[in-house]
A and B are shown apart, each in its own frame.
Chain A
Amino acid sequence: MARPSIPKPTARLLSGRLGPWWELFYRFGPPRWTTYMRHNWAGKRLVIAVPYLWLLLFFLGPFIIVFKISFSEVRLAMPPYAPLWQWVTEKAIDVHLNLGNYLFLLTDDLYVSSYLYSLKVAAISTVFCLLIAYPMAYAMARSSPATRNIYLMLIILPFWTSFLLRVYAWIGLLKNNGVINNVLLALGVIDEPITMMQTDFAVFIGIVYSYLPFMILPLYSNLEKHDFTLLEAAADLGAGPVTSFLRVTLPLSVPGIIAGSLLVFIPAVGEYVIPSLLGSSDQLMIGRVLSDEFFANRDWPVASAVAIAMLLLLMVPIMLFQHFQSRELAGAK
């Protein structure tokens, strides 16, 4: 694009007095000014700015508020916590930093055990998701492009129904006079109904069922990119089907496995609805504890401390996820 390289003499005179904006205006003129903006500023930064602003406003803001509340003391008032600081006089601030909420998390057995229980449930569910999803994703990636799309549709189809509704449907299936027990009784396989509701089993079923697509999709998108000739090469070099899978397909699908596992594990740790509806009330998951603290106990400071602690614990897998995702992206280039 040809730009007038020598500004007019008047512009040079004016620019001294009126500052750089005139300089800009005279160099590029009114129509070129927008070009300048488009080239140097507007597009790139605007596109990035929108999600950043969104996150700042609706994620970082509330996070800071929760962080602040976690250091205050509970109080029977509206809002139900003491302010962190008060103006004592005009020039002095009285700050109350209460670390007791965090200490309380460690001293009361309930929190640690529900943390561990949540991690256990999430980990086991993730493993089962992986075991079920891998063959499915592999079969999808190996099928013809037309059937592939049908399979993808079928994987995504359940999302068209409300998540809550689908979990309720599992109650109908699992309860003592539910579909599964009735069928088994009618077939004579069992004499009395198996108790499946309010057990860990039901929680695993619910989580594995709900989160399976989040495991299948990243695995599928990884496996689909695999070069089939690599398996032919492995076979040609004397590797049987099992060895080929273990030494070629599996290592190459590690980024997909990690992405899928984190997509299942992270939300499963904080899962609230599924354990509340399907699980027992003896052992609570941390999401349930959190909501109980907020809404039943109305102890906002402790609830905030639980939330912050959970977030910090989950930071590790989230950062791992970030790391592998960026590696996956770099590998795709």
Chain B
Amino acid sequence: MAERRNDNKKEPWRDPSAQAYVQIENVTKRFGDFVAVNNVSLKIYQHEIFCLLGGSGCGKTTLLRMLAGFEPPSSGRILIDGKDMADTPPYERPTNMMFQSYALFPHMSVAKNVSFGLEQEKLPKAQIASRVEEILDIVKMREFAGRKPHQLSGGQRQRVALARALAKRPKLLLLDEPLGALDKKLREQTQFELINIQERLGVTFVVVTHDQEEAMTLASRIGVMNRGEIVQVGTPSEIYEFPGTRFVADFIGSVNMFEGQLIEDLPDRVRIRSAELGGVVYVDHGISAAPGAVVWAAIRPEKINISRTAPADAAENCVSGVVKEIAYMGDLSIYLVKIASGKMVRVTLPNTERLSDHERILWDENVFLSWHSSSPVVLSQ
């Protein structure tokens, strides 16, 4: 997964004095009895790509539509560039949106679609024409300017939708599942193009997606949503390596979760006894939970070693089991190992070498699973 180059830019969310471009303050949206967005507060800074990530029905699109002005919040307020947006209709907001369905005007050519927003600004004709050409160049759709949307492929439509949303040079671009309709290859390619465009034009992006891979690739920060609430906000690596809750750990990537009790709780290390694991998990960083509390040790599949022989220090952070399933994915293989408690543990191994069958670990073999003491994340909720 591509990590965004943030080294040359400061991370404004770490700077308490930084002025947020979008401020969402205690926003709640109800549809009848259903609470779609529940008391969400967020700060999004300029030049960010902020991803709202969550399963379907978690309220991420509703939040985006409130930013665009299509839905008024039931309570709370939204400030864009320091201005309260409560009484501003969508056509007066400094935002543009790229719709999930693209919503291209079917009766207008590509060029007309792109110029629509500029015409509303009553710009001179020549200026509109040059802006349209410029933006179509950016999305590499210049030679299709005269076509109607139904004469374009899905990927081309998506580019036109992006061009149309960018044409007015919005300060804030809202993207609703921008790459949802594209196949995997095209999607990866477009993700990098999106990042390039964003860096070139310096627009702030708010992206709604259910695809964690997409969020990881695009985002400078991710806000994970569940049932209308923001569960965790952080950079992709923070979210992945230090999930705050079991939901986040489970939602982003895959994870092995072992329920257990804290038996030793020191500032620099903890030990968890887990019946599910049939052993002790030793973690070399402290957590904050009451001794004896029920906690969960979450270990990512790629951080588990698999071997035929027991590792030297097998007392802790080690468990044995039988290989039940192997899925060969090309770049890596997934092993499902059944341990004594009956729990299936998921382990991924990169296929760094081309091994013959007798060298590879195969079905029904007894194996030892072990991991470094820095790997587990201890979750208390």
Which residue of chain A has the shortest Cβ distance to B117 in the bound complex?
Answer: A237
Which residue of chain A has the shortest Cβ distance to B100 in the bound complex?
Answer: A229
Are A233 and B105 in contact, with the CB atoms below 8 A? yes
Across-interface contacts of B82 in A (CB, < 8 A)? none
Given contacts A236-B97, A237-B164, whether A247 and B116 have CB atoms under 8 Å apart is: yes
In the assembled complex, how far is the CB of residue B116 from the closest CB belonging to chain A, in whole angstroms? Answer: 5
Are B91 and A235 in contact, with the CB atoms below 8 A? yes
Are B103 and A227 in contact, with the CB atoms below 8 A? yes
Determine whether A105 belongs to the interface, using a CB cutoff of 8 Å to chain B.
no
Determine whether A7 belongs to the interface, using a CB cutoff of 8 Å to chain B.
no
In the assembled complex, how far is the CB of residue A333 from the closest CB belonging to chain B, in whole angstroms? Answer: 10
Which residue of chain B has the shortest Cβ distance to A251 in the bound complex?
Answer: B107
Are A232 and B103 in contact, with the CB atoms below 8 A? yes
Which residue of chain B has the shortest Cβ distance to A252 in the bound complex?
Answer: B107
CA distance A252 to B117 in the complex (A): 18
Q: 1/0 contact trace for B71-99 toward A, CB 8 Å?
A: 00000000000000000011110011101
Determine whether A14 belongs to the interface, using a CB cutoff of 8 Å to chain B.
no
Determine whether A238 belongs to the interface, using a CB cutoff of 8 Å to chain B.
yes
Determine whether A152 belongs to the interface, using a CB cutoff of 8 Å to chain B.
no
Across-interface contacts of B105 in A (CB, < 8 A)? 230, 233-234, 248
In the assembled complex, how far is the CB of residue A322 from the closest CB belonging to chain B, in whole angstroms? Answer: 21
Determine whether B311 belongs to the interface, using a CB cutoff of 8 Å to chain A.
no
Determine whether A243 belongs to the interface, using a CB cutoff of 8 Å to chain B.
yes
Determine whether A239 belongs to the interface, using a CB cutoff of 8 Å to chain B.
yes
CA distance A258 to B68 in the complex (A): 35
Across-interface contacts of A229 in B (CB, < 8 A)? 99, 101, 103
Across-interface contacts of A251 in B (CB, < 8 A)? 107
Q: Which of A229, A232, A238, A247 has the most chain B CB atoms closer than 10 A to its own CB?
A: A238
Q: 1/0 contact trace for B135-156 toward A, CB 8 Å?
A: 0000000000000000000000
Are A233 and B120 in contact, with the CB atoms below 8 A? no
Across-interface contacts of A247 in B (CB, < 8 A)? 116
Across-interface contacts of B107 in A (CB, < 8 A)? 251-252
Q: Which of A233, A248, A252 has the most chain B CB atoms closer than 10 A to its own CB?
A: A233
Determine whether A43 belongs to the interface, using a CB cutoff of 8 Å to chain B.
no
CA distance A247 to B117 in the complex (A): 12
Determine whether B273 belongs to the interface, using a CB cutoff of 8 Å to chain A.
no
In the assembled complex, how far is the CB of residue B131 from the closest CB belonging to chain A, in whole angstroms? Answer: 13
Are B106 and A236 in contact, with the CB atoms below 8 A? no
Which residue of chain B has the shortest Cβ distance to A227 in the bound complex?
Answer: B103
Interface residue ranges of B161-186 to A (CB < 8 Å)? 164-165, 168
CA distance A233 to B165 in the complex (A): 9
Interface residue ranges of A219-257 to B (CB < 8 Å)? 227, 229-230, 232-240, 243, 247-248, 251-252
CA distance A282 to B329 in the complex (A): 88
Are A238 and B120 in contact, with the CB atoms below 8 A? yes
Given contacts A232-B70, A234-B116, A247-B116, whether A239 and B103 have CB atoms under 8 Å apart is: no
Across-interface contacts of B15 in A (CB, < 8 A)? none
Determine whether B121 belongs to the interface, using a CB cutoff of 8 Å to chain A.
yes
Interface residue ranges of A92-151 to B (CB < 8 Å)? none
CA distance A251 to B96 in the complex (A): 23
Across-interface contacts of A234 in B (CB, < 8 A)? 105, 116
Which residue of chain B has the shortest Cβ distance to A233 in the bound complex?
Answer: B103
Q: Which of B68, B97, B165 has the most chain A CB atoms closer than 10 A to its own CB?
A: B97
CA distance A233 to B89 in the complex (A): 13
8 Å CB contact of A236 from B95, B101, B104: B95
Are B91 and A236 in contact, with the CB atoms below 8 A? yes
Are B116 and A236 in contact, with the CB atoms below 8 A? no
Q: Which of A227, A230, A237, A240 has the most chain B CB atoms closer than 10 A to its own CB?
A: A237
Which residue of chain B has the shortest Cβ distance to A234 in the bound complex?
Answer: B116
Are A238 and B121 in contact, with the CB atoms below 8 A? yes
CA distance A297 to B40 in the complex (A): 83
CA distance A53 to B15 in the complex (A): 83
Which residue of chain A has the shortest Cβ distance to B122 in the bound complex?
Answer: A238
Which residue of chain A has the shortest Cβ distance to B116 in the bound complex?
Answer: A237
Across-interface contacts of B106 in A (CB, < 8 A)? 230, 252
Are B96 and A236 in contact, with the CB atoms below 8 A? yes
Interface residues in chain A, defined as those with a beta carbon under 8 Å from any beta carbon in chain B: 227, 229-230, 232-240, 243, 247-248, 251-252
Interface residues in chain B, defined as those with a beta carbon under 8 Å from any beta carbon in chain A: 68-70, 89-92, 95-97, 99, 101, 103-107, 116-117, 120-121, 164-165, 168
Known: A234-B105, A243-B120. 4 other contacts (CB 8 A): A232-B99, A233-B105, A236-B96, A238-B120
The 9 closest A-B pairs by CB, nearest first: A237-B117, A238-B120, A233-B103, A229-B103, A235-B90, A235-B91, A236-B97, A238-B91, A251-B107
